[in-house]
Amino acid sequence: ITLNRKTTSQYLCIENPFLSIIGGIQPKVLPTLFEKNRGDNGFIYRLLFTTIGNYIPKAPENNLSLDVIQGYEEFITKFHTMTSNNESKLIPLSLDALNYFQKWSNEFIYVSTDDDRLNQYKSKLEAYALRFSLIIEMSYSVSASNVIQEISLPSMENAISVVRYFYGNFQDVLSMNSSSTEDKDLKLYKRIVYNYKEGVSKEDTVNELNKEGFTVSSIAKALDIPRSTVSGYVNTRTKTTMTNNE
C-alpha cells in the first residue's frame, strides 16, 4: 500500500497496521539525516532518539535472578492477554489527566521556537504523550490485576516526563548537527547572493539549491517566500524532467 498524504474524503482501511523501526547510528552520521530533503516529509520528526552521552558500557558482573526473569515473563504474558481479544475499547482521560495534558500542550506544544525543526518535532510529541500514557496505565493495570477504566493523572505525568526526555535527546541531536548546519547555511546564502548578482531567476535558484540537497524549509526561509511556493517550483521541475524522460 502506497499513500502519500491522504487528502480525499474516501475511506482507507488497513487491517492490523503495525510498524516499529529500531536501530542505532553513529554521532558523526547524524548530520546526514537532515540532508537531501530528508526532513521535509516529516519522517525524521517521528523518531525518538536515545543518547548515552559519555557512558561506557561494561559487561554485567552478575546475572539476573530467576525471580526477576519469571516476573517479567508473567507481566508480558498478562499484558498480551489484555490486548489480544481484538476488541476496540475507548479509554478516556480522567478529568485531572485531561487538565494536566491540556495545560502542558498549551504551555509547551503550541509555543513556537526560533528553530523550525524543534517546532515540527514538538508537533509530533502531543500524540506520543497520549500513547505513552495509555501504555503506562495498562502497565499499572496489569501489575494490580485491575480492569483499566481511564487514564489516571500519574500515568499522564509519567508519560509527559518520557516525552520531555525524548525532546531533550532531539535537542542534543540538533546540537551535534549544529556545526554542519552552520556551514550549509553559509553556503546557502552565498549561492543566493551569487545568483542574485548574476540575474538568475528565483525559480531556477530554488531548483539549483534543491538539487544540491537543501531542504524546502531552509530555502523558503532564506528567500523569505512561502514553503508552498518553493514546493511548487520543485514539483514543476520534477514534472518537466519526467515529461522529457518520457
3-state secondary structure 121-169: HHHHHHHHHHHHHHHHHHHHHHHHCCCCCCECHHHHHHHHHHHHHHHHH
Q: What's the pLDDT at 1?
A: 62
pLDDT higher than 70, residue 37: no
CB 140 within 8 A of CB 94: no
Q: What's the pLDDT at 243?
A: 46
Give the range among 81-90, 112-121, 130-139, 232-241 with minimum mean pLDDT.
Answer: 232-241
What is d(CA 198, CA 194) in angstroms, rounded to the nearest whole number?
Answer: 6
Q: What's the pLDDT at 184?
A: 62
pLDDT higher than 80, residue 16: no
Cell digits of residue 20: 516499529
Average pLDDT for residues 184-213, to the nearest whole number? 74
Task: Identify the DSSP state of 111.
Answer: S
pLDDT higher than 70, residue 241: no
The partner residues of 151 in beta bridges, in order of sequence, read: 93
In terms of phi and psi (left: phi > 0; alpha: psi -120 to 50; beta: otherwise), the region of 64 is beta
Q: What's the pLDDT at 32?
A: 76
Q: What's the pLDDT at 174?
A: 80
